[in-house]
Structure 1
Amino acid sequence: MSLYSDNCDISKISKIVYEYLDERPYLIEEQIFDIELPISKMRKLKKLNEYTKDSEPFNRLKSVINRGMFNKKLMPIGRKNKKDKTAICLHFTAGATNGADSTTCKTPSDIVDAKRHAVNYWVYRDGTIVEYMEPEYWAHHSSADTENPKIIAIEIVNYGPIYLEGSDLKWVDSKGEIYTYCELDAAIKGPDKAFIDLADNDYDKLGRYPNSEYRGYRYYAAFTTKQTQSVAKLLKALCKEYDIPYRFLPYHMRFDRYREGSMNNVSLSATSY
């Protein structure tokens, strides 16, 4: 019996991500800044006219653009100067690998600004970084509406909240379908941490969650080691390139939802909403 389901098996993650990227050849391998990762672990979406006409990437991208996805011209609401970028926001997807298809890359021809939901980077579970929009561009990605133009947004692929049923931890997708995320006892013995148990950690140092739950859940999927390494390298590169202080929000603010005015007295840096 395997330690994890196919959605969580560390040994299968690279294969899952490779197959996802292989079906999207328009996500071109390209160096991103000076991040020290293999070129195969860095990808970039370009505008259609930047691909060789009638090449496979060109034809595949043209096809999905016609279906209302991956049109880079329609993703952003606007663009800011480098000096105006003051923070980095870390999101997790609460979903599977192909989430970019229905969020960041959903670009019907009649899209309006209120529906432009996109981030600059996705970091996949094998550590692959994909740049969907250059950091100067922005779209809706958080409840910090007035701050979004100043923020570089990163999505980290992660299944998010999971729940215990019998001896298995379960995950529910956006359509309500239920999957086995991992076997509780076996996962503890795995080569990479599969989940976080809020009843057995020091995340809640301030004691605000007496039931060992966050937003109603005790268990959360863990980030992979390769993901956290890639995120760290991406943060350092972005902070250096955009002169953003490399520090996180004060501990007491890290797990709260954004509220208008709550950032007024905080020097923005790498953060989360």
Structure 2
Amino acid sequence: MSASTFYPIGTPGQPWGAKEVDQWRARQSRQRRYDEQVLPRIEALADRFDLINYGELDYNGERFPLYALHNGPRDESLPHALITGGVHGYETSGVMGALDFLENHATDYSGKVNLLVAPCVSPWAFERINRWNYNAQDPNRSFFENSGVAEANALMKLVSSQPAPFLLHIDLHETTDSDESEFRPALSARDGTEYEPDIIPDGFYLVDDSENPQPEFQQAIIAAVEKVTHIAPSDDQGKIIGTPAVSRGIIEYPSAKYAMCASVSGARFTTTTEVYPDSPKATPKQCNAAQVAAVCAALDYALQNS
């Protein structure tokens, strides 16, 4: 790690211990309120959806109830779809896009699909505008048995309790300038590895599962989203965020190998959205709308091709 990217916690080349995690935690301050900005909107939906309390986080006395909504009662003759937001709490449009979809579009799919929506998987990080949870863990690399990450464990338990396999899972994320200014340098410092700078793409892109690629599905989402916001171009090496683009605005990761949230359901159709909220060409409203457009396009394609 060069001097220009030195992270102010720990010793370069040495992984963090408990002392460094405590130092990191002391730097995190509440910047917004889950109980004011998210919970009231979830609770207001209880008259139209089944409200599921699937767990509670307790971080040093701070308690965060975890909620999902289902457009029940379940009809086992219909396919099942999972929508998740806020796995990385700082990625605001993932949370707000999931809520916007529930408030304005979810009823359009009544009688077509069983919807399960978890709008804010990581509320402590939502409040701190951070990627990690209270223990400096990344929930989106922790969806495996006995990971020890409370946010991931609670969601996995919820998903495994559902009575039928999922056709679709769309996980709503953002790629922000702070990924390079804060979160990737912090990751290198925490793990004692060398930080390698990258370029944040200007625009929306998708992450498909390289172990179960669904290119037509991804392309259908891109076609819908580009009506709302611009699609990220590949760089001069044909890459997006350091990974080769397999199509316009689409890259692939092995979701299960990386223990990403998109792997949790085992669905046929899966994707991770990546909105770019720091673009001068996009507003917060557009970012939320891009997430909604992605969800609707994903559902429409999956239902037509199931």
For normalisation by structure 1, the TM-score amounts to: 0.34
Q: Name the structure with the higher helix share.
A: 2
